[in-house]
Amino acid sequence: MAEKTLKERIIDTALRLFEQYGYHGVTVDRIVTESDASKGGFYHNFKSKDELLYHIHDVFITYVLNKAQDAYKNYHTPTERLCAIVQSFVKVFHLYKPHITVFYQESTYLRPEYSQKINEKRDEFKRVIFQVIREGIEAGEFRPELSVEITGMSIIGMVNWTYKWYKPNGPMTIEQIATHFIDFILHSVLTEEAKQKVENISFFLASKQMI
């Protein structure tokens, strides 16, 4: 395996420090020191501290958006799609927890030119979720009295909040957490008929090879 490049080392260090102390709680000098780099090396790889922040945002949102779009493509009923999206969404927290923390804590400090790009991808992600819920209602799988927006934001909020409490080495694995979320969500959105079909939710997930 190739050694880590300087750029990667800087990003790793910055991520760790930003997560703990916040973007403004960390100086460029400190990032440089703790990643065994130099100021020259830093500014060779990044135009500015702002650009580094943008880069962190972009890596995460790009990943999660792609995962959602893949999940949409690879499954073909609203219920399966919703499960798959939530599943992959939750799993991201294992890999990208520092990214996510920075994403939700520091996005106010993104400069306009950067935040615009990020917001486009974020909105696209929301659109996919809303779409699935809308199709679920139309297909009769989800309860017709649901509000697409509030249901969508409830799901997004519930999952996103994980970044505030999830501990990678805690008592719950990320898969267990995902299963609980999906259980919670399916009980809320499915119609009685659809619930009959799914029957046992854990079994349903297993049969779809999601867990």
Residues that bind DNA (CB under 7 A): 5-7, 24, 26-29, 36-41, 43-45, 48-50
Q: Is 115 in the site for a copy of itself (CB under 8 A)?
A: no
Q: From DNA, a copy of itself, none, which one binds at residue 154 (CB under 5 to 8 Å depending on kind)?
A: a copy of itself
Q: How far is the CA of 157 from the CAs of 35, 101, 144, 153, 163, in angstroms?
A: 34, 14, 21, 6, 11
Q: Is 85 in the site for a copy of itself (CB under 8 A)?
A: no
Measured between alpha carbons, how far is 138 from 25 in angstroms, rounded to an integer? Answer: 48
- The token duo for 125 is 């992600």
- The token duo for 38 is 């130099």
Q: Is 74 in the site for a copy of itself (CB under 8 A)?
A: no
Q: Is 22 in the site for a copy of itself (CB under 8 A)?
A: yes
User: Residue 54 in 3-state DSSP?
Assistant: helix
Q: Is 77 in the site for a copy of itself (CB under 8 A)?
A: no
Phi, psi (degrees; rounded to nearest 5) at 166: -65, 130
Q: From a copy of itself, DNA, none, which one binds at residue 173 (CB under 5 to 8 Å depending on kind)?
A: none
Within 10 A of 16 (CB to CB), how many other CB atoms are there? 15
Question: Which residues fall within 8 angstroms of residue 55, CB to CB, at 6 or more apart?
Answer: 11, 46
Closest to 67 measured CA to CA, from 169, 194, 166, 159: 159
Site string for a copy of itself, 128-147 (x = CB under 8 A): ---------------x-x-x
CB of residue 45 to DNA, shortest distance in Å: 5
- The token duo for 4 is 């880590």
**Quick one: which of 69, 77, 115, 160 contacts a copy of itself (CB under 8 A)?**
160
Selected range binding a copy of itself among 8-16, 29-37, 80-88, 156-164, rule: CB under 8 A: 156-164
Q: From DNA, a copy of itself, none, which one binds at residue 13 (CB under 5 to 8 Å depending on kind)?
A: none
Q: State how far Cα 108 lies from the chain centre.
A: 18
Sites of contact with a copy of itself (CB under 8 A): 21-25, 105, 108-109, 143, 145, 147, 150-151, 153-162, 164-165, 172, 177, 180-181, 183-185, 187-188
